[in-house]
Structure 1
Amino acid sequence: MNQDKNRLNQNKGYMNWETTLELAQKVFAEKKPYELAYRVNVKYNETENEFILPFLNKEYHVKYPSGEVYKPGGEDIPIVNKILILHYLNSSKGTPLKNKWISFKELPSGQIYVDPFHNRAIRPLVTIFGERPEQMVKAGIAMGGKEEKMGDGSVVIPAFPLVPVAYVIWRGDDEFPPSGTILFDESAPDHLPTEDYAVLASTLVFEMKKTAEIVNRT
């Protein structure tokens, strides 16, 4: 397991998406399917040779051993989502949730990536929902999340079965602009490499934005 994680950390960087995906698929092909399904608590369909798991409140299928990620109906999937799904399957140790929130900088080497994380996830979160945290909460709930009692508006979204992500907004006033934060369960390092959490957090922000637009039209 550690060898797999080291290989991921040494070779991926989200600079070359295709190369990153190919590497993740190679690592995935080396896994033992039943052990993997049990460890990360996802379904494995032996007849179809594929894993079935929820991501962003939608069902995804992953062919074994090819690592092909698809959705029933043939809907296009962004390559970043394919990579995140494979990295979760490859990296997760199956550690149960510890029910204690930590910030991004508390993740391993989080200090190194904190500026990109802020620019990629926190800043868009505040720009989009800073003046309307209630819309963030509604969108998060529509994505399978649960409202929490933090800040002036907060919601926890189960990105993967063992990876909840908390989004918190504080409204601005005459003295201070709106602010926000994104939190992870203390078990987070056992499920994805730190760099992936910056990508995942950003992905969820923009999914909430799209969902909020749909909710507002209904």
Structure 2
Amino acid sequence: MNWDVTLDIAKKEFSKLDPKTMAFRAGVKYAEKEREIIVPFLNEECRVRFPSGEVYHECKEVPLDHQILILHYLSSAEGVPLKHQWISFKELPSGQIYINPFYNRAVRPLVKFFGQKPDALIKAGRALGGKEMDMGDASIQIPVFPMVNIAYIVWEGDDEFPASGNVLFDASAPNYLPTEDYAVLGGMIVFKLKKIADQND
């Protein structure tokens, strides 16, 4: 994927919309004086300048793929309440098309890394602001954006059955991001969880 081109398109879309409306629908704050939208993203605070679409963090550079996801979230958010009902990736619009890349980027690495050490998933997930859930042998709900939660679940393997896992989304997910972005996010967060778990060891 050409991140630069995708980012330019995302900035153009963002610039056409009303910042107050975007902030309201995304459940975030708009600082009118600075003309900036303040977006919590994976337990950190990013700011987006309007109308330029420049995304920045006060302490570090924001990677291009993160910038795109943040802009897409603001442009796509419809303001519907969370449904508190979990759905699988293939239940997202056109999810069946992206299911193989999603499985290879998100579910397979999740199981490979955390299948034999489910407690490490909980510990790493908490570092991203996650809340423990009562599913599988270990599960954590990660607040990606204020209105986007993703659940990571593992079942520990034993002599009879191999370890398994899944990644689930709130049923309101299609009202906040396109399915392609969830395909990217799923794997991105697993990578972050693995990195945190490695540092914890």
- Taking structure 2 as the reference length, the TM-score comes to 0.97
Separation in structure 2 between the aligned mates of residue 96 and residue 214 of structure 1, nearest angstrom:
36
Instruction: State the alpha-carbon separation in 1 of the partners of residues 173 and 137 from structure 2.
Output: 25
Equivalent-residue separation in structure 2 for 1:108 and 1:96 (angstroms): 18
Correspondence for 1:109? 94
Task: Select 2:55's aligned residue among 69, 73, 83.
Answer: 69
* Residue among 74, 79, 96 paired with 2:81: 96
Judge which range, 206-215 or 160-169, deviates more.
206-215
Q: Deviations over 1:85-105 (max 9, x none)?
A: 111001110111000000000
Question: Runs in 1 of length 4+ with deviation above 6 angstroms?
Answer: none
Percent of aligned positions with the same letter in both sequences?
Answer: 58
Find the aligned partners of 1:138 and 1:51 in 2 and give their Cα distance.
30
1:45 aligns with 2:28: no
2:142 paired with 1:157: yes
SS at match of 1:59: strand
Corresponding letter in the other structure for 1:165: I
Give per-residue Cα distances to partners, 1:67-113, cap 9 Å, x unaligned: 1111002x122111111111100111011100000000000111111
Alignment partner, residue 189 of structure 1: 174
Alignment size in residue pairs = 201
Secondary structure at the residue paired with 1:181? strand
Matches for 1:74-85 after TM superposition, within 5 Å: 75-85=60-70
TM-score, normalization by structure 1: 0.90
Name structure 1 gaps, 5 residues minimum: 1-14
Please give the root-mean-square deviation of Cα atoms over the aligned residues, in Å.
Answer: 0.9
Tell me which residue corresponds to 1:138.
123
Does the 8 A contact of 2:22 with 2:77 survive in 1? Answer: no
| One-letter identity of the residue aligned with 1:43 | K
